Amino acid sequence: MMQTDFKVISLSYKNAPVAIREIIALDEQSIKSILARISEVLPLQDTLVLSTCNRTEVYYTANQDFSQEIIKLIGLNKGIDNVLQYEAYFDKLNAIDAVRYLFRVSMGLEAQVVGDMQISNQVKRAYQWSADANLAGPFLHRLMHTIFFTSKRVAQETAFRDGAASVSYAASELVHTLAENIVDAKVLVLGLGEIGQEVCKHMAESHLEVSICNRTQDKADAIGGELGLKTIPFGEIDQALAEYDVIISSVATNTPFINKDRMSHIDVQGYKFFMDLSVPRSVAPEVADIAGVSVYNVDEITLKASKTVEKRKASIPQVEQIIDEALTDFNTWARDMEVSPTIKKLKNALEQIRQEELAKHLKNATNEEQALADKLSKGITQKIMKLPVLQLKAACKRGEAETLIDVLNDLFDLEKQSVEK
C-alpha cells in the first residue's frame, strides 16, 4: 500500500561529518540527472531528492528497499568508486516514520540551526524537480501540499520562525565576534548563491567594511547596488584574499577554491579568518596550517548560532502538535486512497450486475416501470455498498485493510471485473 511503502534514506549532519557530506552532496544538475536515471532503471514512485549543506536524502515509494541501488546511482553520478562504503552513514525510515520525518525536515525541526527557513525553499525546489521528472504522483503531491499548509500554520501560530537564526545569520554573528580583535576589520563575501546573498543581507546592517565578489559580475553589481556594498571583480580575487581579514566563502565547487597554493603568495600579518559555508567545501582544511589563519567549516559555524535558537526551541512542542494534527488529516486521506481502488471496483461490479439484471427483466416494461426499477435497484446497490465501505475504512485504521480487500476481490472477482472493463 502506498503509505506503508513510503521510504527515505538520509545522510545528515547528525551522523556524518562535513568531510563525508561533501562527498555525497548533489547540486541541481546532479539531482535532475539522478531523477532521470531513476525513471529509467528503478520501479520507484513519488521520488524526491533533497541535498543541502546539512543533508542528502532520497524519499521514494516502492514495495521493497532500494536504498543500495539509489546510493549506487549517486556514486555513479559523482564518479565515486565503492560508494557503498558510505552506506552506514545513511539512516533509513519507512512508512509513517518517513512521512513524519519529511514534515520535520520541511519545518526546520531537523536543521542544524533550528527553524532555519532556507530548508523550506530547498524542499520546494526538490519537489518541483520531482514533478518535472514525472516522479511526483498523487501521494507526494498531497503530502507536499499538506506540508506547505502546515508550514504556514507554524509561521502564523507559533514563534518558531521569529527572529533571525540560520546558517547565514550564525556566520554574520561569528564575523562580529572575530572582528572585535581586528582594527578596522574588512570582510569579503565570496560567492552569491542563496546562502551568500543571505549573508550579505545580514552584513549590510553591520558597521564593518564589507565587500562582495562573485563569478558573475552583473549579479554582484545588482546585489551590491541594492545593499550598498562594494564589489570586487572576480579576476582580482587573489589580491582581495590578501587584503581582507575575514572571508566568508559559499562558492559552489567540487574541489576547494581556496587552497594552500592560492594562499602561498600571501604574507599573513596578524590574523586572517576563513568561514566556509559550502558543501562540498570551498576552503581546503589545510589552509588552517598557515600561521595566523583560521578556518571555520559549516558545522563549526552553526554551533555559534544566536540565542534566537533557544527561543525557537521553546516553540517546538507547539510545532510538533501542529504536525500531529496535519499527519492525522493526511493519514485519513492516505487510508481513503488505499481502499478507494477496491471501492471503485466493487461499485463497478455491482453496477454491472444491476445493469445486466435490468436488461434481462425489463425487455417489455413501460418507461414508468423501467424508471421505477432503475430507482429501486440503485437504492439496493447503494445499501449493499455501504457496509463494505465502512468495514474497509475501519480495517484501514486497524492496519487490516489488505485482508479485507483480498476477501472482497475473491467474493466479487474484482480483478476479473477490472480487466474486462
pLDDT in tens, 382-407: 888 788 777 777 776 666 666 666 76
Residue with cell 543500495: 68
Section 57-64 average pLDDT: 95
Confidence class for position 341, pLDDT limits 50, 70, 90: confident
The amino acid occupying position 34 is I
The domain defined by 6-162 carries CATH number 3.30.460.30:
yes
Q: Residue 419 has what pLDDT?
A: 47
**Model pTM score:** 0.72
93 band by pLDDT with thresholds 50, 70 and 90: very high
Over the range 38-76, which residues count as b (16 or more CB within 10 Å of their CB) and which as e? beeeeebbbbbbbbbbbbbbbbbbbeeebbeebbebbbe
Tell me what the mean pLDDT of segment 166-192 comes to. 87
Residue-range domain boundaries for the chain: 6-162, 167-306, 352-420
Torsion of the alpha carbons at 54, 58, 64 and 65, rounded to the nearest 10: -40
Instruction: Give the per-residue pLDDT at 147.
Output: 96
Supply the Cα-derived Rg of the chain in whole angstroms. 29
Closest CA to 241 of 180, 296, 283: 283
CA 251 to centroid of chain Cα atoms: 22
For residue 135, what pLDDT band results from cuts at 50, 70 and 90? very high
Q: Which of 53, 200, 213, 396 is catalytic?
A: 53
Q: Name residue 185's amino acid.
A: A
Cell of 71: 546510493
- pLDDT range class, residue 1, cuts 50, 70, 90: very low
- Spatial separation of the C-alpha atoms in residues 76 and 80, rounded to whole Å: 6
Q: What pLDDT is stored for residue 243 in this prediction?
A: 93
Query: Is residue 307 pLDDT above 70, yes or no?
Result: no
Cα–Cα distance between 122 and 195 in angstroms, integer? 11
pLDDT greater at residue 416 or residue 84: 84
Out of 130-134, 155-159, 279-283, 397-401, pick the least confident: 397-401
The class level of CATH for 167-306 reads alpha beta
| 242 against 356, higher pLDDT | 242
What's the gap between Cα 245 and its chain centre?
A: 35
Beta-ladder partners of 210: 187
pLDDT for residue 217 is more than 70: yes
Average pLDDT over all residues of the chain: 88
Is residue 53 annotated as a catalytic residue, yes or no?
yes
Is residue 377 within 8 Å of 354, Cβ to Cβ?
A: yes
Mean pLDDT value across residues 2-23:
90
- Distant-in-sequence, close-in-space partners of 338: CB < 8 Å, separation ≥ 6: 1, 2, 3, 396, 401
Contact indicator for 133, 36 with CB cutoff of 8 Å: yes
C-alpha cell at 194: 542563496
Mean per-residue pLDDT, 119-132: 94
Percent residues over pLDDT 70 in the chain: 91
- Percentage of the residues of the chain whose pLDDT score is greater than 90: 56
Rounded to whole angstroms, the Cα distance separating 335 from 391 reads: 12
What span, in angstroms and rounded, lies between the C-alpha atoms of 187 and 348? 70
Phi and psi at 51, nearest 5°, equal -140, 120
Per-residue pLDDT of 249-299, as tens digits, reads 999 888 999 999 999 888 888 889 999 999 999 999 999 999 999 999 988
